[in-house]
Structure 1
């Protein structure tokens, strides 16, 4: 029960109470068969005694069943694209219980409205062969707009997984300049041919000499299959290796190597470069100019690590 309070409901206090009680009961040198054995135990109050009595008498706990039902409804709300755990709890408090309940809720963001509209489809896993076809198709369209551009599907697909949650496309151009304004033209063309059917506005950040990407998040429909989520990011060439590393993942690997970069070398590693910090403290200021790395392998070499192939990054 304590993990439901902690992981889903965000109630750290109740989680702590139940966790301490469970650990205390587990540490007893005997099996509890009567509430009289724990009634006077320090830290075990009347409500907990009542619950133990119910479990001993029925083999069940109604409070836990009710809690699981509540948690299940919150998790469904939190599975809508753009909502997340904290807002899901707030929506639950306001009386929302299902995705359908959210259809006419005016306070949703554009992303959340898409998450509701395409909920059934975009929560399905995407078969690997479908991602292969999608990457090939997008690469073909990019080639007509910026010949010679590099296009890679990243994420779990690049790590060799059989299915993906969405399609994450990274793009750059080796000439160092043709990536500028490419994403806006690409999204416009993908909308024109009805590949992209919905989405947020293009977030244009990429500038000559900078490190930030242009980004787009939306919904596509391809080969008469389900609606799918797609993220497209266009990076400057000189930081593309860092972006490829960050968005290939997985999260465990990213956290580990970023921690190592900081504590061992005093570096800040991100999707936009490898920067020297003033100190090894987490919040210390970092330089604005990245240590140059042309490939992912070079990044690992700079950190004194063996290079793992993408399929070896499923930690």
Structure 2
């Protein structure tokens, strides 16, 4: 793309040297200062990373360039809006671009950078250019204040309420409080989600999370002495608070999930069942009558992929993207099931569903989470640094 720096702009506007578009002089000055600030910050981070690669305790991961994350966050909002409006093709278009940006190592700063991305149509390209010009996308601001989006966003956070149900409900209610007055619009599982909606939106302090761990640890070890399991997600990353209780268990001979759940119910810890299978449980738990109810997910992983699942479900989301980028550079696709040979069909991050087909056999080389890092020639990164 050739940028005409001699282009004549309306009074009060100047040519943006990055995009060739006319924008307000104040906006350009603000934008250029921000770019310089971001570059300086990224340079410092790169230097820190380079200086610390030999020390497991001091590794700093620059997981996503600054512009890219902001663009992705904006496009996710627009994708959610189209999902609420039942526009699956638009949703898929946004998801493809989001996927492409998340795998893009370079900070997006110019229209030329956008051209290097896969699957970007003209309309989405214009939105990204608008972000480069102004630092935001006007449509996003409009969506965030749209009552339909606000309502749809609340509805989708109720367990069991998907896009089709959201569309149906939005033809029958005007606001969220109205749904509370008409629970008959929901099925039994969705009613449970609505019943505990307020509790589910209260973060779990890490101190409370540790109490959950003690209860589960005692019950699991009473049933299966020495069983290997972890509380994953924010708990394992040692965040100050958690969204829910996520538990990963390594399968072993004789392990029966329904027996585990029975014990948790007998202790009045699990108070509601949302979904249960042989290897996965989703429900509601509670430490005491005085404390909020919490969402709990329990997943059993086979020994062949337990450590891959541990890495994946520990997160963070951005760190998982970072790991997948490293794997892709080595011709591999990384998921919670293991490594595959990377190709167009399975190398994505956000699009499609991961599966355990065509997994490379790593049973002789992967015996811990650390071994996955070694396989990729990476220094191990402690969970709290992810």
TM-score by length of 2: 0.58
Counterpart of 1:246? Answer: 312
Offset of 1:229 from its aligned partner?
0.5
Which of 174, 177, 196 in structure 2 is aligned with 1:118?
A: 196
Residues 91, 256 of structure 1: CA spacing in aligned structure 2 closer, same or farther, 3 A cutoff? farther
Q: Distance in 2 between matches of 1:102 and 1:79?
A: 17
The question of whether the paired residues in 2 share the 8 Å contact of 1:239 and 1:271 is answered with yes
Instruction: Note if contact 2:78-2:143 (Cα within 8 Å) is conserved in structure 1.
Output: no
Q: What corresponds to 1:177 in structure 2?
A: 253
Q: CA RMSD in A?
A: 3.4
CA contact (8 A) 1:158 1:310 kept: yes
Residue equivalent to 2:241: 163
Q: Would you say the 8 A contact 2:307–2:367 is kept in 1?
A: yes
CA offset digits 1:220-244 (Å, max 9, x no partner): 1113311110011122334221111
**How far did 1:192 drift?**
1.8
Conserved? CA contact 2:314–2:383, under 8 Å: yes
Partner of 2:183: 103
Is contact 1:135-1:169 (8 Å) kept?
Answer: no
Task: Supply the distance in 2 between the matched residues of 1:288 and 1:281 (Cα, whole angstroms).
Answer: 16
Does the CA contact (< 8 Å) of 1:74 and 1:97 recur in 2?
A: no
> What residue number does 1:235 align with?
301
Distance in 2 between the 1:100 and 1:129 partners? 32
- Residue number among 361, 366, 373 corresponding to 1:290 in the alignment: 361
| Partner residue, 1:210 | none
**What pairs with 1:1-315 in structure 2 (closer than 5 Å)?**
6-10=78-82, 16=123, 23=130, 68-83=146-161, 87-95=165-173, 97-98=175-176, 99-101=179-181, 103-106=183-186, 108=187, 110=189, 112-172=190-250, 176-178=252-254, 180-181=255-256, 183-204=257-278, 214-224=279-289, 225-261=291-327, 263-274=328-339, 276-277=340-341, 280-283=343-346, 287-288=358-359, 290-292=361-363, 293-313=366-386
Distance 1:154 1:243, change over 3 A: same
Please give the alpha-carbon distance, in whole angstroms, between the structure 1 residues aligned to 2:212 and 2:188.
27
TM-score, with normalisation over the residues of structure 1? Answer: 0.69
Cα distance in 1 for partners of 2:358, 2:368 equals: 21
Q: Matched residue of 1:294: which SS?
A: coil
Report the alpha carbon displacement of residue 197 of structure 1 after superposing the two structures with TM. Answer: 0.8
Tell me the alpha carbon deviations over residues 34-72 of structure 1, each in whole angstroms, 9 at most, x when there is no partner. Answer: xxxxxxxxxxxxxxxxxxxxxxxxxxxxxx699533322
Structure 1 regions of 5+ residues with no counterpart?
A: 28-63, 205-213
Matched with 1:39 is none
Q: Which residue of 1 aligns with 2:63?
A: none
Mapped partners of 2:165, 2:275: distance in 1: 23
Question: Is the Cα contact below 8 Å between 1:75 and 1:88 reproduced in 2?
Answer: no
- Could you tell me how far apart the structure 2 residues matched to 1:5 and 1:147 are? 46
Size of the aligned set, in residue pairs, is 255
Taking structure 1 as reference, are residues 157 and 281 closer, same or farther at Cα in structure 2, changes over 3 Å only?
Answer: same
Specify the SS of the correspondent of 1:158.
Answer: coil
Instruction: State how far apart, in whole Å, the 1-side matches of 2:165 and 2:361 are.
Output: 36
SS of 2:320's partner is helix
> Is residue 283–residue 297 contact of structure 2 (8 Å, CA) maintained in 1?
yes
Higher relative contact order at CA 8 Å, sep ≥6: structure 1 or structure 2? 2
Q: Contact (CA 8 Å) 2:282, 2:296: kept in 1 or not?
A: yes
Higher-Rg structure is 1
